[in-house]
């Protein structure tokens, strides 16, 4: 029997090409606190104009949400129709009406994936013995097309059962020994049916490690040359790649199987040798498999043995429009960096371009790698490079709120890990950016980080007699006036003690700086 502790429910449910990436809206509200200062007010005015467009996006998002609610309301009625369709399937089978069987199977598979059924439907499914009915159809299919559609419909049933841990149905299938039965069908599966068959068998990789191992040893290991031989057969390679991906999701993979085959090594070498032949979806499944295996530090060392860092560095991000692939590569690079910073290389300009791109899900990982480069590889000195510095400042000034915040986190790393020479050269350009971001930030955590960075700037300036210069730049951008207004004109007292403490320390640094200059 299957139980919740063994069942894997965290995996990709539909192929990336079928996923819709909804537009993501910047929901951060501009600070509307009373503030009367020339330069800050002008900047705030510009931000409010930008906010108009963001509000329009938010309105569109609200309309989309109402549409989703409307669809959810109709799902109950659709579920009743789904049961009716199953009844029609039974009637069509009894009457040997092949067209009606096909129509019912097509409706059922579409309904299950588009309107995830609720508990009453599963009870109906078991009560009417549909697991056995599906097995009977596969055992004696009237036509190959019905056989194909039954495989696909059964895949959709397994999809929702595994996703929502519908153990009752899974156990019903186990009672009739469906897995061994499906394995026995392999000799009847031709090349046309093979993608449907592999898609269904991939779900058994998610049930438990023993079942997963049987899928691999009986299908993938013995027949991998059949599945991956014809690169023009995208669908077959895609579904075989899906088996690989799901096989690595949760259960550890031994280095060698009972047939003395190093599966993990094969996954890496196959990708490296066939990267140009794989279409994006299959490539994503192999990269996803490698990312799954990166939970083992020993496997990451194996990646270095294969010089996988070179593959990452050579990857053409500029001509790749696949967000999932890019984000997966970033995650793998982060994992490899955690094991060996010395062996990794960082293309800081590319990381900024990814972080500022339309690929919203990549922002965090791209900037995390950017910070890793600053923190773990001080000898890189990226800000001694004029192009990197210029790109950094331009992107910081032009980015949306989320991107500006990522750059603010980068500034914290710069102040902590870069050499003094690079910091001193950067600070006059960073101060206006910090002041501008301060205006639009109303989260305590973010304001606290900015206050820390301001203090770090003055600490660094104190060592070189630059405190008064830095203070002039902050005052020129009305930073201190804004902070005092933040305390006096709002209830944001949580910042008050920190702000006053920071101003006191700045006064101390200012006096200290004058003493340094007098000594000079």
Ranges of each domain in the chain: 61-176, 419-520
Quickly tell me which residue has 């004029």 as its tokens. 386
N residues, the chain: 520
Asked if 448 and 438 count as a contact pair (C-beta separation under 8 A), the reply is no
Lowest mean pLDDT, pick from 83-92, 150-159, 268-277, 307-316? 83-92
Mean pLDDT for the chain? 82
pLDDT score of 16 more than 90: no
Angle at the Cα of 322 from the Cα atoms of 319 and 324, rounded to 5 degrees: 140
What integer pLDDT is reported at residue 403 of this predicted model? 93
Please name the helix (run of DSSP H) or strand (run of DSSP E) that holds residue 287, with its range, or none: helix 280-293
What integer pLDDT is reported at residue 135 of this predicted model? 96
What integer pLDDT is reported at residue 140 of this predicted model? 92
Asked if 437 and 41 count as a contact pair (C-beta separation under 8 A), the reply is no
What integer pLDDT is reported at residue 17 of this predicted model? 38
Residue 516 binned pLDDT confidence (cut-offs 50, 70, 90): very low
pLDDT score of 495 more than 70: no
What integer pLDDT is reported at residue 47 of this predicted model? 47
What integer pLDDT is reported at residue 494 of this predicted model? 60
Q: Using the CB atoms, write b or e for 34-66: b if 16+ within 10 Å.
A: ebebeebeebbeebeeebeebeeeeeeeeeeee
- Each residue of 250-300: pLDDT tens digit? 898 876 555 667 899 999 999 999 999 999 999 999 999 999 999 988 999
Calculate the CA 131 to chain-centre distance.
35
Q: Which residues contact 78 (CB under 8 A, 6 or more apart)?
A: 111, 115
Residue 355 binned pLDDT confidence (cut-offs 50, 70, 90): very high
pLDDT score of 131 more than 80: yes
pLDDT score of 27 more than 60: no
Q: What is the pTM of this model?
A: 0.80
What integer pLDDT is reported at residue 286 of this predicted model? 98
Q: How far apart, in whole angstroms, are the C-alpha atoms of residue 432 and residue 160?
A: 52
- Each residue of 161-202: pLDDT tens digit? 888 888 889 999 999 999 999 999 999 999 999 999 999 999
Asked if 402 and 387 count as a contact pair (C-beta separation under 8 A), the reply is no
Percent helix, strand and coil across the chain, each to the nearest 5: 75, 0, 25
Q: Which two tokens stand for residue 235?
A: 């669908």
Range with the largest mean pLDDT of 73-82, 293-302, 511-520 = 293-302
Residue 480 binned pLDDT confidence (cut-offs 50, 70, 90): confident
Q: Which two tokens stand for residue 186?
A: 């392999």
Average pLDDT over residues 330-341: 95
Q: How far apart, in whole angstroms, are the C-alpha atoms of residue 202 and residue 155?
A: 9
Range with the largest mean pLDDT of 59-68, 439-448, 473-482 = 473-482
pLDDT score of 2 more than 80: no
**DSSP characters over 344-391:** ----HHHHHHHHTSS-GGGHHHHHHHHHHHHHH-GGG-GGGSHHHHHH
pLDDT score of 10 more than 60: no
Quickly tell me which residue has 């997963």 as its tokens. 212
User: What does the DSSP 8-state code read for residue 30?
Assistant: P
Q: Which residues contact 21 (CB under 8 A, 6 or more apart)?
A: 323
Task: Name the nearest CA neighbour of 360 among 88, 22, 59.
Answer: 22
What integer pLDDT is reported at residue 365 of this predicted model? 96
Angle at the Cα of 471 from the Cα atoms of 470 and 474, rounded to 5 degrees: 90
pLDDT score of 392 more than 50: yes
Q: How far separated are the first and last CA of the chain, in Å rounded?
A: 81
What integer pLDDT is reported at residue 13 of this predicted model? 41
Calculate the CA 228 to chain-centre distance.
27
Q: How far apart, in whole angstroms, are the C-alpha atoms of residue 199 and residue 155?
A: 7
Percent of the chain at pLDDT > 90 equals 53
pLDDT score of 151 more than 60: yes
Q: How far apart, in whole angstroms, are the C-alpha atoms of residue 342 and residue 76?
A: 57
Lowest mean pLDDT, pick from 23-32, 88-97, 156-165, 208-217? 23-32
Rg (alpha carbons) of the chain, rounded to whole number: 30
What integer pLDDT is reported at residue 70 of this predicted model? 44
Lowest mean pLDDT, pick from 17-31, 270-284, 349-363? 17-31
How many CA atoms within 13 Å lie on the side-chain side of 425?
14
């Amino acid at each position: 029997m299957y139980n919740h502790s063994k069942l894997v429910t965290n995996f990709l449910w539909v192929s990336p090409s079928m996923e819709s990436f909804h537009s993501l809206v910047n929901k951060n509200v501009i600070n509307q606190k009373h503030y009367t200062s020339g330069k800050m007010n002008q900047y705030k005015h510009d931000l409010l104009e930008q906010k108009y467009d963001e509000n329009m996006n938010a309105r569109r998002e609200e309309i989309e949400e109402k549409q989703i609610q409307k669809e959810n309301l109709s799902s109950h009625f659709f579920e009743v129709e789904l049961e009716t369709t199953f009844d029609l399937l039974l009637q069509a089978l009894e009457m040997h009406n092949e067209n009606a069987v096909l129509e019912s199977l097509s409706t059922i598979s579409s309904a299950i994936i588009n309107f995830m059924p609720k508990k009453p439907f599963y009870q109906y499914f078991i009560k009417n013995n549909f697991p056995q009915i599906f097995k009977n159809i596969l055992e004696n299919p009237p036509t190959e097309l019905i056989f194909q559609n039954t495989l696909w419909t059964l895949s959709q049933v397994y999809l929702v059962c595994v996703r929502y841990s519908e153990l009752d149905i899974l156990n019903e299938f186990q009672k009739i020994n469906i897995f061994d039965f499906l394995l026995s069908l392999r000799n009847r599966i031709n090349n046309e049916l093979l993608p449907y068959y592999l898609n269904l068998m991939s779900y058994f990789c998610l049930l438990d490690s023993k079942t997963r191992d049987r899928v691999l040893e009986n299908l993938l290991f013995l027949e991998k040359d059949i599945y991956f031989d014809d690169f023009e057969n995208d669908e077959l390679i895609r579904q075989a790649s899906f088996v690989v991906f799901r096989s690595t999701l949760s259960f550890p993979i031994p280095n060698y199987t009972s047939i003395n085959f190093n599966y993990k090594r094969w996954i890496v070498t196959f990708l490296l040798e066939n990267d140009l032949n794989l279409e994006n979806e299959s490539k994503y499944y192999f990269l996803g498999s490698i990312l799954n295996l990166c939970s083992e530090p020993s496997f990451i060392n194996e990646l270095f043995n294969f010089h996988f860092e070179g593959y990452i560095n050579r990857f053409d991000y500029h001509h790749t429009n696949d967000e999932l692939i890019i984000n997966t590569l970033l995650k793998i690079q982060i994992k490899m960096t955690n094991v060996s910073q010395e062996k990794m290389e960082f293309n800081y300009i590319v990381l900024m371009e990814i972080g500022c791109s339309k690929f919203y899900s990549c922002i965090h990982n791209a900037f995390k790698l950017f910070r890793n480069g600053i923190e773990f590889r001080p000898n890189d000195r990226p800000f001694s490079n004029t192009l990197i510095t210029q790109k950094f400042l331009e992107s910081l000034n032009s980015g949306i709120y989320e991107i500006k915040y990522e750059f603010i986190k980068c500034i914290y790393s710069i102040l902590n890990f870069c050499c003094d020479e690079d910091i001193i050269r950067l600070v006059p350009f960073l101060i206006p950016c910090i002041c501008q971001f301060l205006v639009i930030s109303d989260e305590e955590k973010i304001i606290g980080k900015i206050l820390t960075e301001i203090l770090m700037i003055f600490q660094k300036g104190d060592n070189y007699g630059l405190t008064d210069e830095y203070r002039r730049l902050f005052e020129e951008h009305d930073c201190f006036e804004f902070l005092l207004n933040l305390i006096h004109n709002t209830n944001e007292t949580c910042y008050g003690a920190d702000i006053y403490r920071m101003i006191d320390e700045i006064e101390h640094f200012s006096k200290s700086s004058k003493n340094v200059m007098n000594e000079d």
